[in-house]
């Protein structure tokens, strides 16, 4: 299987290299615009056919909407369909609005079913009706079936364009079948074997097929490993399956084990990118947005930012409340205020470290709520050692800051030293350093505990662990840090 993935990735790299070359050699924005202005459809068709469709799409979206429409109306649908597939959903929608139903139908006839479904899934209802108006009843039924699959499931990712054969076929018959229908399929790298009821019983790779004797029966050379997912399997599970087993193609079955489609590696890569983007946005306290930044309206950006900022503001109110109740020590010894930002910031960083690691490990299925106590114990051991290092360092560093004058004393601090410590500032300095080091020791352990527990809790109640974003945990820790800090201040520093 590793060999299969490596060959697939090599093919991708070759395609990428060709794409890079075509950006410069085959199609540029000025070149495309010049071809459109010349109204030479034959030259336009030749240049587009020789260029990578992704690069043509990149050049096309830089042109005016009018020229984009001229482009699609000037080319045969078998060529323009590849470019259309590479456009963003917004640009596809613009084309769909401008085209007649007949023009759209010709374009969609050249697209694979999964690409059509992806396109239709996000269209407004009136445009879906327009697109399907002149679609054959058979195609309309198949597309409608796909649109009914649960969102973010294997059913919405799969394509029905695969090759399935019976195990009684010979190698020669299978190769003939590939020659007949292969060009219309999503891939022929793996051929699937089904029984009379279309239940999946095995598969065979194309290279193994070519290496076998022409008269061999498929059941004697096929792979009986029936790795598959069901249509209602969550797309995150699909991604993990691809990652775990190093595969490039995954069959999809119904609840009775009958094969209904396949998912290819390129489709999973697109979904994985979307999932990672969403997790990053959530962890940064941003409402997820599936549009590229430059195509997102200002109002949409505000809607992404504002809810979390308002929530965190409310959370910050509790921090202010705690500070207001504990402001007496600050009035007596203002020096204590200077260390609050360092305590809150460091403990927030400590939780961010653990939260990021745990969220990622949950996403990779390396840990789960079932391994909670094992994970907590491991993190506790690491946090105790980290806290000890931090406590010793902070004790020494605070003394350096105080004695060197990096943190200067106020007049009130000087009076405290004079009145309560008989002018001996060493006692106050050591006491403050001791309080800081103890605070770091306790709160870093708490920070690491929360960094494990909150993402695990989210996973347990079927929420995205990224919901327990770093800003949320940091705000909770701010409150805990202040309470622990002033508890030690009251217990240890005289006169407070």
CATH of the domain at 259: 3.10.580.10
For residue 134, what pLDDT is reported? 65
Decide if 9 is inside a domain.
no
User: Residue 204 in 3-state DSSP?
Assistant: strand
* CA separation for the pair 266, 238 (Å, rounded): 13
Decide if 5 is inside a domain.
no
For residue 311, what pLDDT is reported? 75
Query: Is residue 400 predicted with pLDDT exceeding 90?
Result: yes
Domain that residue 337 falls in: 294-492
Last residue of one domain, picked from the residues 274, 309, 332: 274
Please give the average per-residue pLDDT across 437-464, as a whole number. Answer: 88
Poorest-confidence range of 53-67, 166-180, 284-298? 284-298
With the C-alpha atoms ordered 316, 318, 322, 327, is the resulting torsion angle positive or negative? Answer: positive
Provide the 10 A C-beta neighbour count for residue 251. Answer: 22
Query: Is residue 186 predicted with pLDDT exceeding 60?
Result: yes
User: Residue 190 in 3-state DSSP?
Assistant: strand
Whether residue 170 sits in one domain with residue 145? no
Is-contact 229 238, C-beta < 8 A?
yes
Whether residue 262 sits in one domain with residue 300? no
Is-contact 200 253, C-beta < 8 A?
yes
Whether residue 312 sits in one domain with residue 268? no
The whole-chain average pLDDT of the chain stands at 81
pLDDT in tens, 196-251: 899 999 999 999 999 999 999 999 999 988 899 999 998 888 988 998 888 899 99
Last residue of one domain, picked from the residues 120, 150, 180: 150
pLDDT in tens, 323-357: 777 777 767 778 888 888 888 888 888 888 888 88
Is-contact 349 447, C-beta < 8 A?
no
Top pLDDT among 312 and 197 is at 197
Decide if 101 is inside a domain.
yes
Whether residue 187 sits in one domain with residue 135? no
Q: Residue 18 — pLDDT band, cuts 50, 70, 90? A: very low
Q: What is the Rg, in whole angstroms, of the alpha carbon atoms belonging to the chain?
A: 31
Whether residue 315 sits in one domain with residue 384? yes
Query: Is residue 49 predicted with pLDDT exceeding 80?
Result: yes
For 227, the token pair is 């790795």
Is-contact 122 232, C-beta < 8 A?
no
Whether residue 126 sits in one domain with residue 33? yes
Pick from 57-61, 143-147, 491-495 the range whose average pLDDT is largest. Answer: 57-61
Query: Is residue 280 predicted with pLDDT exceeding 60?
Result: yes
Count: domains in the chain: 3
Share of the chain above pLDDT 90, in %: 24
* CA separation for the pair 468, 445 (Å, rounded): 18
Domain of 63: which CATH number? 1.25.60.10
Whether residue 464 sits in one domain with residue 347? yes
| Residue positions counted in the chain | 496
Whether residue 443 sits in one domain with residue 388? yes
Provide the 10 A C-beta neighbour count for residue 203. Answer: 26
Last residue of one domain, picked from the residues 150, 179, 204: 150
Beta bridge partners of 177: none
Is-contact 153 261, C-beta < 8 A?
no
Whether residue 340 sits in one domain with residue 467? yes
Please give the average per-residue pLDDT across 366-375, as a whole number. Answer: 90
Rounded to 5°, the CA angle 461-362-253 comes to: 80
For residue 410, what pLDDT is reported? 80
Query: Is residue 190 predicted with pLDDT exceeding 80?
Result: yes
Is-contact 158 252, C-beta < 8 A?
yes
For 337, the token pair is 């205020």
Decide if 3 is inside a domain.
no
Is-contact 81 111, C-beta < 8 A?
yes
For residue 334, what pLDDT is reported? 80
Whether residue 310 sits in one domain with residue 218? no
- The closest alpha carbon to 205, from 186, 195, 192, belongs to 192
Decide if 287 is inside a domain.
no
Decide if 372 is inside a domain.
yes
* CA separation for the pair 223, 424 (Å, rounded): 83
Domain of 314: which CATH number? 1.10.357.20
For residue 165, what pLDDT is reported? 94
Whether residue 179 sits in one domain with residue 100? no
* CA separation for the pair 99, 177 (Å, rounded): 37
For residue 468, what pLDDT is reported? 63
Q: Residue 6 — pLDDT band, cuts 50, 70, 90? A: very low
For residue 19, what pLDDT is reported? 38
Distances 120 to 96, 140, 174, 476 between C-alpha atoms, Å = 10, 12, 34, 43
For residue 9, what pLDDT is reported? 45
Whether residue 171 sits in one domain with residue 144? no
Decide if 306 is inside a domain.
yes
For 173, the token pair is 């018959």
Helix residue spans in 289-371 (DSSP H):
298-325, 327-332, 340-363
Decide if 363 is inside a domain.
yes
């Amino acid at each position: 299987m590793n060999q299969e993935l490596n060959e697939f990735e090599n093919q991708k790299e070759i395609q990428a290299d060709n794409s890079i070359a075509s950006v410069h050699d085959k199609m540029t924005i000025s070149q495309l615009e010049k071809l459109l202005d010349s109204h030479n459809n034959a030259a336009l068709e030749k240049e587009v056919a020789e260029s990578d469709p992704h690069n043509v799409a990149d050049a096309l979206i830089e042109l005016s909407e009018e020229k984009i429409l001229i482009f699609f109306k000037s080319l045969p649908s078998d060529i323009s369909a590849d470019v259309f597939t590479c456009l963003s959903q917004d640009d596809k929608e613009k084309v769909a609005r401008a085209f007649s139903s007949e023009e759209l139908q010709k374009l969609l006839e050249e697209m694979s079913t999964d690409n059509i479904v992806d396109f239709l899934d996000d269209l407004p209802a009136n445009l879906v009706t327009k697109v399907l108006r002149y679609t054959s009843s058979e195609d309309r039924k198949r597309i409608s079936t796909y649109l009914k699959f649960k969102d973010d499931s294997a059913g919405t990712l799969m394509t029905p364009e695969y090759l399935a054969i019976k195990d009684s076929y010979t190698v020669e018959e299978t190769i003939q079948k590939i020659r007949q229908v292969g060009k219309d399929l999503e891939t022929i790298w793996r051929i699937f074997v089904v029984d009379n009821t279309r239940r999946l019983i095995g598969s065979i790779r194309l290279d193994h097929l070519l290496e076998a004797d022409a008269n061999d029966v498929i059941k004697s050379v096929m792979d009986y490993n029936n790795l598959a997912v069901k249509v209602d399997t969550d797309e995150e599970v699909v991604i993990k399956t691809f990652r775990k087993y190093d595969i490039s193609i995954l069959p999809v079955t119904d609840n009775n084990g009958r094969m209904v489609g396949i998912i290819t590696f390129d489709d999973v890569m697109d979904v994985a990118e979307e999932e990672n983007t969403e997790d990053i946005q959530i962890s940064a306290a941003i409402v997820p947005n599936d549009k590229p930044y430059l195509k997102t309206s200002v109002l949409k950006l505000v809607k992404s930012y504002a809810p979390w900022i308002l929530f965190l503001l409310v959370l910050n109110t509790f921090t202010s409340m705690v500070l207001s109740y504990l402001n007496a020590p600050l009035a007596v010894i203002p020096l204590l205020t200077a260390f609050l930002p360092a305590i809150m910031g460091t403990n927030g960083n400590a939780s961010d470290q653990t939260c990021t690691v745990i969220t990622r490990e949950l996403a990779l299925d390396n840990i789960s709520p079932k391994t909670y106590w094992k994970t907590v114990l491991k993190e506790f051991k690491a946090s105790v050692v980290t806290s000890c290092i931090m406590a010793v360092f902070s004790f020494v560093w605070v003394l350096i800051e105080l004695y060197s004058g990096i943190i200067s004393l106020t007049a009130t601090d000087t009076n405290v030293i004079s009145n309560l410590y008989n002018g001996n500032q060493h006692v106050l300095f050591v006491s403050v350093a001791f309080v800081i080091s103890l605070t770091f020791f306790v709160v870093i352990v708490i920070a690491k505990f929360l960094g494990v527990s909150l993402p695990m809790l989210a996973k347990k109640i079927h929420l995205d662990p990224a919901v327990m974003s770093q800003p949320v945990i940091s705000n909770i820790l701010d409150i805990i840090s202040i309470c622990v800090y002033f508890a030690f201040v009251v217990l240890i520093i005289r006169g407070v």
